[in-house]
Amino acid sequence: MKTGAGSTRARLRIAVLGATGMVGSRVIKEAGARGHQVLALSRKPAGEHPNVTPVAVDARDAHAVRDALSAPDGGAADAVVLTVRSMPVDQEFLVAVTRTVLDVSARLGVRILVVGGAGALRSPDAQDLLVADDPAYVPADVRAVAAAGVAQLRTCRTHAGGDWVYLSPPALLEPGERTGRYRRGTDTLLADADGRSWISAEDLAVAVVDELETPGPDHHITVAHQGR
Ligand SMILES: NC(=O)c1ccc[n+]([C@@H]2O[C@H](COP(=O)([O-])OP(=O)(O)OC[C@H]3O[C@@H](n4cnc5c(N)ncnc54)[C@H](OP(=O)(O)O)[C@@H]3O)[C@@H](O)[C@H]2O)c1
């Protein structure tokens, strides 16, 4: 799959909650570069691109989230990308914030894309095993992080109404090169021929904006690096 550059799609109003993070900052850069109008939401607002408006929002505050997603002209954002996390992992926080953003988005008719965890995917080695429960991918010391992602996906699945998609990264997600290419899957972890399951945060951001511009039919998707 090769997309991104030279898009001629309609200009979207995209809110990114977690704007200062590894993923959020790259989604903002990608969306801004494609000419979309971006609301960069985080507790410490940041963003210097002309298409980007920084807004101070605490994701735990439902009123603040609603105000941020509602436009001054009475309209609403077209989409919100939820890409927050706490350090150390706090499953209760993640589930509560996800529910808040699902609630507000459903009320306003805003599409929501959650950047979640690889743990919520099926293991490529055993379809009835989640990555979160597969020690081949998730060592004991990061199990709580993987379990929080599983709970976050469950929160989406059990939410009444709302237009959501949950994007699980591959096992390894780190800053790197923007190639503009990636492989796309649904609910099973993608790995290359050597067993490596990874993508750069830059290419994940390409996939996020592609999904917002051209929504697919699946509620749970994943992406991974694609070589030449
Ligand atoms: N392989 C994998 O499965 C994998 C790997 C990496 C990341 N991820 C997932 O990708 C997502 C993004 O991760 P990341 O690495 O980009 O995280 P990150 O760099 O730690 O950034 C977290 C973001 O959350 C924001 N945030 C935290 N608490 C907030 C609150 N109460 N209100 C508003 N914003 C808040 C922070 O902004 P402020 O502190 O400025 O408010 C920051 O922008 C997470 O869901 C993470 O689990 C998955």
152-209 pLDDT, tens digit each: 999 999 999 889 999 999 999 999 999 999 999 999 999 998 889 999 999 999 999 9
Write out 45-95 in H/E/C secondary structure: CCCCCCCEEEEECCCCCHHHHHHHHECCCCCECCEEEECCCCCCCCHHHHH
Give the pLDDT score at 215.
96
- Domains along the chain? 13-224 (3.40.50.720)
**Ligand 1 atom 4 nearest Cα:** 117
106 pLDDT more than 80: yes
86 pLDDT more than 60: yes
| Ligand 1 binding pocket includes 205 (Cβ within 6 Å) | no
Single pTM value for the model: 0.96
**In which region does residue 36 sit, left (phi positive, over 0), alpha (psi from -120 to 50) or beta (all else)?**
beta
Burial class of 214 by CB neighbour count within 10 A (0 to 12, 13 to 18, 19+): exposed
95 alpha carbon – ligand 1 mean position (Å): 13
44 alpha carbon – ligand 1 mean position (Å): 13
103 pLDDT more than 60: yes
23 alpha carbon – ligand 1 mean position (Å): 7
207 alpha carbon – ligand 1 mean position (Å): 17
